[in-house]
Structure 1
């Protein structure tokens, strides 16, 4: 007992000591070398020399704490009680892993590769293989890593505090990938917090279990060099980008195995094959960052650095991305840096304080989603999120991040009444810290991973979302066009007899189409929470519903802007999406649903192969109205153009009446009908123009030439010069 102060001994044994490495392990003292070990449950403990095999029994001090003389040299420990004897490496025999540069960058909030130093890493350290754990908990009095390997006892692996950074670390020898673990944290006021999952953990247990799991990064051997080399061209504003949005858990299920979801390995085959067959250029994944509650669809993540175990291990997710790239398909991740759930094992009051979130609920609590808002003004929190964006782009070769709920990040009064929010330092409503964070994310992402794209889900008129950061914008590559989505769905859901009174719902978008680089989204948000399916939104009887939907998709693919469609809508899923089930693939036995699928497949091919239909998606020189004012007939005609390529003229008749209609054309001669949504191949009545029209020298709607065109009911037709 004289070798250790009684107060310190008791604090160690009870897990209340804030510097366990100062006592445990081997230390040189005025009385000579001293070895102290904390082995709860042991009755005897010996130190065994690695060099000579000599043994020295340690004296029991109190509550599992043993101490004795040891004159140095590498050692192992042997412990015994009435039931068993066991040998083990002493975690307190090993020095720190983190270096001074890492400490400095973490403290400054500028460690762009934060995942390389925090989290759980399988490493060799001082000649022994084990796992290095490191976690940020600056207000904690004590942090321990716990798991099956130490019977979830927070006394056994109390971690080392690293100076003023707030980081705690420990190397646990002998552990391997696959170990489950959490952190036990003693707050500054002496309260033991609920076990916490690792904020930078690379894997997790299967829900509803909530522990982190040690996973190794870099196990997959990539073969996507050709894709990465051409990615910048494939994701440029002038390129055809057609995105298939997918919820991996409900795209398809294996019903003869209990209805389980597909694995990453199966998705690498089945989903990628389907996307290639359908002609989409990209897959966008609803969040696969680990999340506890299936009903959140991933939008309430806890493991931001872990691909969900629901479909497999990290290296299997990497193989899925690689498989897509080898087939020429990009992969975009829905990324959620706007909020996090309040689950006890997550980030909420992580070290006993409002660490990741704001302390004031007027700043830190999302009323709509019952979630917590990140404190973007804290440099370490901003670093945690910024590094996470780079993590997915670098470690998993993802091609883009679609940032969720950007509007909620930009405004302090988002979905709040007067008195429920805190103004910024200038008295305004803008969240200046979040704005700076988004700018920094985009600058770092584009600078660090050439060819990637970032996409904002932003529903307000905030200026400059896709303007480069150096020109004063937020720096996103693209923005979802929520105005176009709302207006066009509202129009197409109307009975055609009323559409003439709402003609501007389709023309208004042209007033701002080129204010940002837009994606036209028909996303999961349009087919949930009682909104029904896309087919269900359409007016009329069964055949008219299909005709309206075919016309809508044709209008979407012809309109300026990149394309996005949620899974199931490509074959006119009849019911609202439900995450618990799977898509109704049996509907493809019906010719009308099969025809809709063929229409989307052909639209993708036409869009991809026709420069006029994609080059000017984000360039105003690629679009011009020919007829925008014929509300009485509900007819719209416009031209799409690209440098050095044939133009395409698009005509839409959005009434159930067939029409012979004179449309203006930019040049004389024969114009081929390259698309008709009323084709019998798609389930239509097969009315059209027998493949071509002839332009004559009759000026119409500011065009020197024109032609009589037959416009089938509820249809969109497209023409290009022969």
Structure 2
């Protein structure tokens, strides 16, 4: 098949060798143009006032116009006459240098993936505005860009294949808002399902899944004060995170609107989070995804905020409003796997461009999805560039990296014979480890105040240690051990808790091995696990009391805090992504009490530096009594960096109150109650308790001084030491 036949069939990988200006002889050019249904074609000067040449088109819409070289002035316009009328446009195939420029430096830095690839709005070297398309499909025999602008016809805009495996084309006259996809033919010439742009910045929902040209420079940010703020050491700052599924936090009242928009969320959700005194919002993955039931954890468009809630500018507005209200934004990021949807990355050009070829490495049995090939340079750049992209273009403050354990281990969820050992015969995926180190290095190098958080469920060493010290380089790690152990404990009947006391105390053995976040995430309130309230034993009062005591313990324990939406008011049933939260429960006093407690815990946690400043340093914690398993009592202190502030935490995990209990204290002074989860306003029993007690020079718990106080049933107390 010669070039002309390839062009007519929509299967040409070298269109610049046939379309546009071609040398006919030393003095003459032949301009080849293809416009289906064209009857005649004229070449015009840039301003359209001068006719340079003209000719008739054949029945296929192909037209060849001969013109003297000195007569063709660049850039030239094309005027096509067809049954629908006259159409004027600049010939894309006269802009060969502008098309090729996309790939000259694309592999020099990870951020070039979103600065050069995809659909880039720009002006050509000759001053013509348009969109440069670049898509990586190294084993494709042909790729065309299709869209409303060419009636989705694969003949009209074939793309040029480059030595780096990218197909490129500059299409003049296009602007933001244009819909497009890539028509891809595999190495054997078979047409695949049309593909969304892997680096597309905006994408439509089902059924089109079309990418949309987007202008990142259009949105005007107003978060300068937030970005310029000082004292940004996250390890010594409070971090109380509200984890949110945007589609089910609340639903709109309008029946024609399925979801709240980013703009509505920027008003209602941000206002709520501020009232509740959270420091951060963490949103479940916002990268475009086709299936609602995946909650975003099966993303297809990594560079496109999901259009369920609005366009990319609207998501920027949401982040902007968070920042203006003093709230940080964390997004869940999913570099571990992707689904097989035909418009997505799977077998993108008919081969495994993005995923491992061997299913023992490239297929995830738990989630029925493809695993990225972490060893390919192009895939590594794609993923690292995407992480940088969210900090750069959307001003997010942190990424929480999903399913890190599944990346680290080659045998994750696999039986013997179902996985391939590494070069040393072990189960570590060195390629994924290297990728995560590179990602963290680039993020912290380019955005020093950014935060990366790992969801890593094993004891892999050094997840939140610097790469220079042999770690993976994350800023923080979710403390899955604390979560599992503490929930296992609190779910037990209080009568049996004394036999499991170590489940609460063991976390302090490894509390400083990593920079931990204490997570009660969406995963703990789905798939039959019940809501947090449903996990609690006992009658209704005891369920609420247990939950209040547990939340108090969580805020006293070292580590940043994360709570999934609905848990803060004791959602009565487990989370359902198809329904909004049970906000009606706030009219019930017990639920309202939990709600008020959680707000007060957030405020106390932020106000008292002892409760957050040394979350990740040994000097910030001291056991008072960890051995009282018989009464299921725990007591410990938290201090700040200057050892000026001290908070005593006492937890009683049985329904038995204790009068005049003595606790050793490392400082003499007056101890004032700042949190009592048994307060009447919280739905508690309001058990008699002095709000302030003075220490006495009575040795207790191996300390010279002690205090004496009542301890309410199923309650956590926090008392701050104030010098006499």
SS at match of 2:97: coil
Whole-Å Cα distance in 2 between the matches of residues 217 and 259 of structure 1?
26
Deviation at 1:432, TM superposition (A): 0.3
Deviations 1:579-637 (A, max 9, x none): 11111111111111111111011001111011111112111110111111111100011
Report what 1:720 is aligned to.
720
Q: Match for residue 308 of structure 1?
A: 306
**1:144/1:158 contact within 8 Å kept:** yes
Distance in 1 between residues matched to 2:511 and 2:235, nearest whole Å: 14
Residue 60 of structure 1 and its aligned partner are, at CA, apart by 4.0
Whether 2:617 is the aligned partner of 1:625: answer no
Residue in structure 1 matched with residue 336 of structure 2 by the alignment: 338
Q: CA deviation at 1:208?
A: 4.1
Deviation at 1:107, TM superposition (A): 4.4
Residue by residue over 1:185-225, the C-alpha shift from the partner in whole angstroms, topping out at 9 and shown as x without a partner, is: 11111111110000000001133431111111022222222
Pairing 1:416-431 to 2, within 5 Å after superposition? 416-431=414-429
Instruction: Name which of structure 1's ranges 508-517 and 133-142 shifts more when overlaid on structure 2.
Output: 133-142
Alignment deviations for residues 638-692 of structure 1 (CA, whole Å, 9 cap, x no partner): 1111133221111111001111222111133321111100001111111142211
Q: Please tell me whether residue 317 in structure 1 is matched to residue 315 in structure 2.
A: yes
Q: CA deviation at 1:124?
A: 2.2
Aligned to 2:526: 528
1:3 is aligned to none
Change (3 A) 1:487 1:709: same
Quote the Cα distance in structure 1 between the aligned partners of 2:447 and 2:346.
Answer: 31
Aligned to 2:4, the other structure's residue is in SS state helix
Matches within 5 A, 1:227-246: 227-230=226-229, 233-246=231-244
C-alpha distance after superposition, 1:688-720 (max 9, x if no partner): 422112322221111111222211110001112
C-alpha distance in 2 between matches for 1:17 and 1:439: 40
Shift in Å at residue 50 of structure 1?
A: 3.9
Query: Partner of 2:288 in structure 1?
Result: 290
1:25 aligns with 2:16: no
Partner Cα separation in structure 2 for residue 711 and residue 368 of structure 1: 46
CA RMSD of superposed structures (Å): 1.6
The answer to whether the Cα contact below 8 Å between 1:305 and 1:391 also exists between their aligned partners in 2 is yes
Aligned to 2:205: 206
Counterpart position of 2:33 = 37
Please say if 1:103 is aligned against 2:98.
Answer: no
Q: What do the CA deviations read for 1:227-261 (whole angstroms, capped 9, x no partner)?
A: 21226x34521111110111111111112334532
CA distance in structure 1 between the partners assigned to 2:110 and 2:630 by the alignment:
61
Residue equivalent to 1:374:
372
Q: Deviations over 1:292-337 (max 9, x none)?
A: 1111111111111111111112122112111111111110110001
**C-alpha distance after superposition, 1:434-475 (max 9, x if no partner):** 101000110110110121110000000000001100111000
Q: Whole-Å Cα distance in 1 between the matches of residues 223 and 448 of structure 2?
A: 14
SS of equivalent to 1:564: strand
Question: Counterparts of 2:480 and 2:302 in 1: how far apart (Å)?
Answer: 26
Gaps in structure 2 of 5+ consecutive residues:
none
Quote the residue 1:88 is aligned against: 89
Report what 1:196 is aligned to: 195
How far apart are 1:46 and its partner, in Å?
3.0
**What is the match of residue 8 of structure 2?**
13
1:342 is displaced (CA, Å) by 0.4
Q: Measure how far apart 1:507 and its partner are.
A: 0.6
Tell me the secondary structure at the aligned position of residue 70 of structure 1.
strand
What does residue 182 of structure 2 align with? 183
Partner of 1:148: 148
Q: 1:8 to 1:207 in 2, by over 3 A?
A: closer
Which deviations, in whole Å up to 9, do the C-alpha atoms of 1:59-90 show, x marking residues without a partner? Answer: 54573322120222243223334454433332
DSSP 3-state at the match of 1:176: coil
Deviation, 1:179, is: 1.3
Change (3 A) 1:626 1:517: same
Which residue matches 2:679?
679
Between the aligned partners of 2:218 and 2:45, the Cα distance in structure 1 is 36
- Matched residue SS, 2:685: coil
Q: Distance in 2 between matches of 1:423 and 1:97?
A: 45
After superposition, what is the alpha-carbon deviation per residue over 1:94-153, rounded to whole angstroms, capped at 9, x for unaligned?
A: 2332566x6354346x34232111111222222222222111111111111011211211
Tell me, yes or no, if the aligned pair for 1:235 and 1:452 is still in contact at 8 Å: no
Q: Secondary structure at the match of 1:244?
A: strand
Deviation of residue 93 (structure 1)? 2.5
Alignment of 1:498-509 (within 5 A): 498-509=496-507
Q: Residue 663 of structure 1 aligns with which residue?
A: 663
Q: In structure 2, do the counterparts of structure 1 residues 701 and 685 end up closer, same or farther at CA, with 3 Å as the change threshold?
A: same
Counterpart in the other structure of 1:496: 494
Query: What secondary structure does 1:716 align onto?
Result: strand
Residues 107 and 114 (structure 1 numbering): CA distance in 2 closer, same or farther, change over 3 Å? Answer: closer
Normalising by the residue count of structure 2, what TM-score does the alignment of the two structures yield? 0.96
Residue ranges of structure 1 left out of the alignment (5+ in a row): 1-5
Distance between the aligned counterparts of 2:172 and 2:383, measured in 1? 30
| CA pair 53-555 structure 1, distance change in 2 beyond 3 A | same
Partner residue of 1:70 out of 64, 67, 71: 67
- CA separation of 1:595/1:235 partners in 2, compared to 1, >3 Å: closer, same or farther? farther
How far apart in 1 are the matches of 2:55 and 2:700?
100
**Do the aligned partners of 2:678 and 2:684 also contact (CA within 8 Å) in 1?**
yes
SS in structure 1 of the partner of residue 482 of structure 2: helix
Quick one: distance in 2 between partners of 1:84 and 1:104?
39
Q: When the two structures are superposed, what TM-score results if normalisation uses the length of structure 1? A: 0.96
Contact between 1:13 and 1:62, CA under 8 Å: does it hold in 2? no
- Answer yes or no: is the 8 Å Cα contact 1:27–1:35 preserved in 2: yes
Residue 362 (structure 1) aligns with: 360
Find the residue that maps to 1:550 and give its secondary structure. helix
- Corresponding residue to 2:474 among 476, 494, 507: 476
Distance 2:51 2:61 in 1: 23
Instruction: Name the structure 1 match of 2:594.
Output: 596
